[in-house]
Amino acid sequence: MSAGAVPSRAAIVATAQESIARGSKSFSAASRLFDRATRERTWLLYAWCRKCDDLADGQDHGHALSKVADPQARLAEIEVKTEAALAGHWVGDPAFDALRIVAAETRLPPRFARDVVQGFRLDTADWRPRSEADLLRYCYHVAGVVGCMMAVVMGVDPDDDATLDRACDLGIAFQLANIARDIEEDDRGGRCYLPDEWLTEMDFPPGQHMKPHFRPRLTVLARRLAAMAEEYETSARVGTARLPFRSAWAVLAAAGIYGDIAREVAKRGDHAWDHRVSTSKLAKLSWIARAWVQARARKKGAAVARPDHLWTRPGS
């Protein structure tokens, strides 16, 4: 490639595929169930999300969370490059040019990408949730709205709020599972996503929730997160009735694969953080098979009311 030449779409897709393979074996496995166009756009969207997250947290493909010395500068880089990508400009960073491609090829509302960036602003400000509603708002910004973006990538009309709400539910379920699994890792990185009201309810002294003798109390909260994740996962599954078969298959497989993380955290109890919870290759293959059956059995287009007690995304 000559100096200054713009990488081809195929080259950026290849880089994005490498990113998802390194960053999330679960999402990588599920993404292969999409048709080719959707699969490639999924990889591209993931690459942007992964790069933003790594920039904000000083990570390498989601590993080794650490405190960064220049959080505001990193946030500024995310904001500037994201806005350039949304405006259709050549950014010169494969992950942000991946977003440029997705935005150009779909009806992706720019506000969704900006809502993701807002999640990084919260982390940069060392924000912590006071209430369960605060927690769910954070989950929306870092994962729920990504579910909405994925739905648009799959061909859902950006004005179809009912389907987007279900897609948001799946992102929230994933993030609740992440928080339950990563309580110890987040603590080492100076973060805590357990609401202050929950910590007060369990009578934790400030900053002491990871002390070994408090582990049974922490298990109660982790199981609460897992139960919430189950509720949002169940709601999200209903939304697959509005998707094409292959998209529904992929979504149902991802829901099962990632849902197992929350279920395993709950199952391990006080030992949930002795070793990082993950889903085995065999379990992934099992969910891919089960999801095929579930996708075939769903009642396409069926209308089922979303539970009123679930948190609702802004603008819905």
- Residue-number span of the structural domain to which 225 is assigned: 9-297
Say what the pLDDT of residue 242 is. Answer: 92
Q: What is the mean pLDDT of residues 285-314?
A: 91
39 within some domain: yes
Q: What is the mean pLDDT of residues 305-309?
A: 95
4 within some domain: no
Say what the pLDDT of residue 2 is. Answer: 43
pLDDT digits (tens, 9 = 90+) for 26-35: 889 899 999 9
Say what the pLDDT of residue 67 is. Answer: 72
Chain centroid to Cα 54, Å, comes to 14
**Number of domains, the chain:** 1
Chain centroid to Cα 289, Å, comes to 23
305 within some domain: no
pLDDT digits (tens, 9 = 90+) for 209-267: 999 999 999 999 999 999 999 999 999 999 999 999 999 999 999 999 999 999 999 99
Q: To the nearest whole number, what is the mean pLDDT of the chain? A: 93
The CA-based diameter of the chain, rounded to the nearest angstrom, is: 63
pLDDT above 80 (res 4): no
Q: What is the mean pLDDT of residues 93-111?
A: 97
The residue among 95, 75, 99, 98 whose CA lies nearest residue 86 is 99
pLDDT digits (tens, 9 = 90+) for 120-160: 999 888 899 999 999 999 999 999 999 999 999 999 999 99
**CATH code where residue 227 lies:** 1.10.600.10
pLDDT digits (tens, 9 = 90+) for 42-67: 999 999 999 999 998 877 665 556 67
312 within some domain: no
What is the percent of the chain with per-residue pLDDT over 90, rounded to a whole number? 84
309 within some domain: no
302 within some domain: no
150 within some domain: yes
181 within some domain: yes
pLDDT digits (tens, 9 = 90+) for 68-86: 789 899 999 999 999 999 9
